[in-house]
A and B are shown apart, each in its own frame.
Chain A
Amino acid sequence: MSSFLTANAALIITLVKIALILFIVLTVNAYLTWFERKVVAHMQSRWGPHRVGPHGLLQPLADGAKFLLKEDPTPAGVDKFTYFLAPLMALALSLTSIAIIPFGPQSLHIFGYEIKLQIADINIGILAIYAITALSVYGVALAGWSSNSKYPLLGGLRSSAQMISYELALTMSVVGVLLMAGSFDLRAIVAQQARHAQWGFFGWNLWPQILGACCFFIAAIAETNRVPFDLPEAESELVAGFHTEYASFKFAMFFIAEYTAMITVACLIAIMFLGGWLSPFPATPFWNFTHYLPSVILIPFGLWVIWDGIRYETIFGRLVLPGIGTAMIAIGAALIVFPAANEFIQGPFWLLSKILFFLFVYVWLRGTLPRFRYDQLMSFGWKLLLPVSIANVVITAFIMLLLRSGK
């Protein structure tokens, strides 16, 4: 038994990593929906979900139960194979792109095995993510077509045309970063930014590639069909766009696919333009006190959660919230007591906070901006975004050639 385990150690470690990351990503998806509803609600001066569990924290569980238990009708006249394939394809492709993202610089060393914080470390990292994004157009187009209905067909065609158009700008806006890093591998891109780590926040790729970063961010919002580019699934114009005829569980698959794509894009922006797991403070010994920032954030937040939980209205809240707060304080204290764990957690902590920041910006945009008209959307993508990203490539190449020939 143990010899079987040691012989196939790499395979078993990868399988365990896949299961763990799938679980984490699906949970983050669920709580991202809670986060979005709460934030948009507070921006609109109302409470979001606050009845199901303390502060509405059990709302995703209720939604999940609804998706599982609701009736799942199949309309007449649909093309059965394509109707069932489309949400499956969308979900599978979105979840696959998480496998290529590295979550930290150092590897765990358990029982002598080195476990990287990444499932697939291939040297065409970003290109593989683009391949998966290119295939995810099918999920939308086939869903719209196979529904045998007017509004889904229109929504599906519009959405897939939008996704293809903005895919070009998405790809070109990253070429500047690739020129600077010299490799497709995501770890190499962060390593190139780590070469300027002594400047901290100002050594990230955001500053030399500000055009590329803006283009990438805008194109990514269009690629994931989020506001202000969500006309294809606009609730007031097209019923629900390409997923009108999809009911409980298949709709949940599209939903999870969209939010997972958001998370992937947030990870990519954080890694390529914002230094990934690098701290915004310079990496010199003078700034070593900032390594305690995770604990400094966790412990007061945990105290606040306990204080809020003690006075909460329901008894369940009075039990659960102080428990969560105590767990946070325990983790924060453990990080102070064990410096090795603290050093290990620095990378993932900064990456996760940048991802969270971008998810907040996505949700903020949803609560604030109106949506584009379709022709405005297409002309913006082709006539403004694509030329600007190509210009970014030319300027970056020119400046790099100047700097290199100057030596």
Chain B
Amino acid sequence: MTALVIFFVLAALAVLGALNLIVQRHPIHSALSLIVVMVALAALYLSMGADFVAAVQIIVYGGAIMVLFVFVIMLLNAGVEERTNASKLAGIAGIPLAVALLGFLAAAIARSPGSPEAASQTRALADTHSISMMLFSNFVYPFELTSFLILIAIIGALVLAQRERP
């Protein structure tokens, strides 16, 4: 019972944050809404028993990636978005269609019989120890590849940020 209440509160928080991201006109407010979504998702992971993933989500996503976004918004002095020339009719006709699509999707998911029992409060296998064992035995090749990926990203960012040679 309390698990359901916690789920609905956190889910509402995440959806409101996502809606706010779309509705706000200044990028910094959208960034703050995205941080709210990430923290709500991390709390959901915690309620599911995935504490390591929750901590990594906040440290890496919320504490590093979003800080990068906020820095870029500050440095580029991003202002409020300008008005667009898109047609209003498309917006008015599109929203009911989007809701209908979403409803079909949700109904299809809700009626699918494939999901096994409930997905929370189990601490069975997913503690830090088992994640690390799996990371270094089954997934060691992708793990080493991600280190290359990060190196490529660092070199790419350095090259992009160079000043033009006079």
Chain A residues packing against B (C-beta within 8 Å): 79, 81-82, 85, 122-124, 127-128, 130-131, 133-135, 137-138, 141-142, 145, 153, 157, 160, 164, 167, 184
| Nearest 9 A/B pairs, CB to CB | A134-B63, A131-B58, A127-B55, A124-B51, A134-B59, A145-B74, A131-B59, A131-B55, A124-B55
Question: Do A134 and B70 touch across chains, with their CB atoms under 8 A apart?
Answer: no
18 additional contacts (CB under 8 A) given A81-B29, A124-B55, A145-B28: A79-B26, A79-B28, A82-B32, A85-B32, A130-B55, A131-B42, A131-B55, A131-B58, A131-B62, A134-B58, A134-B59, A135-B35, A141-B70, A141-B71, A145-B74, A157-B74, A157-B75, A164-B64
Q: Among residues 57 to 110 in chain B, which have CB atoms less than 8 Å away from a CB atom of chain A?
A: 58-59, 62-64, 67, 70-71, 74-75
B68 to chain A, nearest CB (A): 9
Q: Which residues of A contact B7 (CB under 8 A)?
A: none
User: Quick one: which of B39, B63, B75 has the most chain A CB within 10 A?
Assistant: B63
Q: Which residues of B contact A135 (CB under 8 A)?
A: 35, 39, 58, 62-63
Q: In the bound complex, what is the Cα–Cα distance between A362 and B74 (angstroms)? A: 32
Q: Which residues of A contact B55 (CB under 8 A)?
A: 124, 127-128, 130-131
Q: In the bound complex, what is the Cα–Cα distance between A243 and B70 (angstroms)? A: 18
Q: In the bound complex, what is the Cα–Cα distance between A255 and B71 (angstroms)? A: 24
Query: In the complex, which of the residues A81, A124, A138, A145 contacts B52, with contact meaning CB atoms closer than 8 Å?
Result: A124
Q: Which residues of B contact A130 (CB under 8 A)?
A: 55, 59
Q: Among residues 26 to 59 in chain B, which have CB atoms less than 8 Å away from a CB atom of chain A?
A: 26, 28-29, 32, 35, 39, 42, 51-52, 54-55, 58-59
Q: Which residues of B contact A134 (CB under 8 A)?
A: 58-59, 62-64
Q: In the bound complex, what is the Cα–Cα distance between A134 and B67 (angstroms)? A: 9
Q: When A134-B58, A135-B58 are in contact, do A164 and B128 touch as well, CB less than 8 Å?
A: no
Q: Which residues of B contact A127 (CB under 8 A)?
A: 52, 55, 59
Q: In the bound complex, what is the Cα–Cα distance between A369 and B75 (angstroms)? A: 32
Q: When A131-B58, A141-B70, A157-B74 are in contact, do A184 and B128 touch as well, CB less than 8 Å?
A: yes
Residue of B nearest to A129 (CB): B55
Q: How many cross-chain pairs have Cβ atoms below 8 Å apart between A and B?
A: 62
Q: In the bound complex, what is the Cα–Cα distance between A145 and B150 (angstroms)? A: 29
Residue of B nearest to A141 (CB): B70
Q: Which residues of A contact B26 (CB under 8 A)?
A: 79
Residue of B nearest to A123 (CB): B51
Binding site of A, secondary structure by majority: helix, strand, loop or mixed? Answer: helix
Q: In the bound complex, what is the Cα–Cα distance between A127 and B42 (angstroms)? A: 13
Q: In the bound complex, what is the Cα–Cα distance between A167 and B127 (angstroms)? A: 24
What are 21 A-B residue pairs whose CB atoms fall within 8 Å in the complex?
A79-B28, A81-B29, A85-B32, A124-B52, A128-B55, A130-B55, A130-B59, A131-B42, A131-B55, A131-B59, A131-B63, A134-B63, A135-B35, A135-B58, A141-B74, A142-B28, A145-B28, A157-B74, A164-B64, A164-B67, A184-B128
Q: Mark B122-139, 1 if CB is under 8 A from A, else 0.
A: 000001100000000000
User: Quick one: which of A79, A123, A138, A160 has the most chain B CB within 10 A?
Assistant: A138
B147 to chain A, nearest CB (A): 13
Q: In the bound complex, what is the Cα–Cα distance between A247 and B34 (angstroms)? A: 29
Question: Do A122 and B63 touch across chains, with their CB atoms under 8 A apart?
Answer: no
Question: Do B58 and A82 touch across chains, with their CB atoms under 8 A apart?
Answer: no
Residue of B nearest to A82 (CB): B28
Q: In the bound complex, what is the Cα–Cα distance between A138 and B128 (angstroms)? A: 28
Residue of A nearest to B39 (CB): A135
Q: Which residues of A contact B35 (CB under 8 A)?
A: 135, 138
Q: Which residues of B contact A138 (CB under 8 A)?
A: 35, 67, 70
Residue of B nearest to A126 (CB): B55
Q: In the bound complex, what is the Cα–Cα distance between A153 and B71 (angstroms)? A: 11
Residue of A nearest to B52 (CB): A124
Q: Which residues of A contact B67 (CB under 8 A)?
A: 137-138, 141, 160, 164
Residue of B nearest to A136 (CB): B63
Residue of A nearest to B46 (CB): A122
Q: When A79-B28, A134-B63, A137-B63 are in contact, do A142 and B70 touch as well, CB less than 8 Å?
A: yes
Residue of B nearest to A130 (CB): B59
Q: In the bound complex, what is the Cα–Cα distance between A184 and B26 (angstroms)? A: 39
Q: In the bound complex, what is the Cα–Cα distance between A166 and B52 (angstroms)? A: 22
Residue of A nearest to B67 (CB): A137
Q: In the bound complex, what is the Cα–Cα distance between A164 and B68 (angstroms)? A: 10
Q: In the bound complex, what is the Cα–Cα distance between A124 and B127 (angstroms)? A: 10
Question: Do B71 and A160 touch across chains, with their CB atoms under 8 A apart?
Answer: yes
Q: In the bound complex, what is the Cα–Cα distance between A138 and B62 (angstroms)? A: 10
Question: Do B74 and A124 touch across chains, with their CB atoms under 8 A apart?
Answer: no
Q: When A157-B71, A160-B67 are in contact, do A122 and B51 touch as well, CB less than 8 Å?
A: yes
B24 to chain A, nearest CB (A): 10
B35 to chain A, nearest CB (A): 7
A139 to chain B, nearest CB (A): 12
Q: Which residues of B contact A128 (CB under 8 A)?
A: 55
Q: Which residues of A contact B128 (CB under 8 A)?
A: 124, 184
A193 to chain B, nearest CB (A): 21
Q: In the bound complex, what is the Cα–Cα distance between A123 and B50 (angstroms)? A: 11
